[in-house]
Amino acid sequence: MAFSNRPKRWSGLRSVGADHDYPTCPYCEGLMQPWPADTPGKACEECDQPIVLLPVNPLRRIYSAWPLCSLIQIILLPILGGTLVAMLMNQGSTYALVATLTFSCMAFGVSMVWEGTANMRTRTYRLYRKIHRGRGAWWRGFARTLIGLYALAASIINMLGTLPIAARWDQMAGG
Calpha distance 64→46 (Å, rounded): 19
61 or 85, which is more confident?
85
User: What percent helix, strand, coil does the chain show, rounded to 5?
Assistant: 50, 20, 30
Select from 48, 67, 86 the last residue of a domain.
67
- Angle at which helix 94-122 crosses helix 68-88, to 10 degrees, equals 150
* Banded model confidence at residue 173, pLDDT cuts 50, 70, 90: low
* Pair 74, 51 in one domain: no
Q: What angle do CA 45, 50, 53 make, to 5 degrees?
A: 105
pLDDT tens string 63-93: 778 888 888 888 988 988 888 888 888 777 7
Listed in sequence order, the DSSP H helices in 89-134 are 94-122
Q: In the chain, how many domains are there?
A: 2
Which are the contacts of 48, defined by CB distance < 8 A and separation ≥ 6? 118, 121, 122
pLDDT of residue 91: 75
pLDDT tens string 2-26: 544 444 343 444 433 334 467 778 8
* Pair 56, 136 in one domain: no
In this prediction the pTM is 0.71
pLDDT of residue 9: 40
Q: What DSSP character marks residue 31?
A: B
pLDDT of residue 152: 93
* Pair 43, 85 in one domain: no
Q: What angle do CA 79, 84, 87 make, to 5 degrees?
A: 125
Q: Which structural domain range is residue 120 located in?
A: 69-173
Q: What DSSP character marks residue 46?
A: T
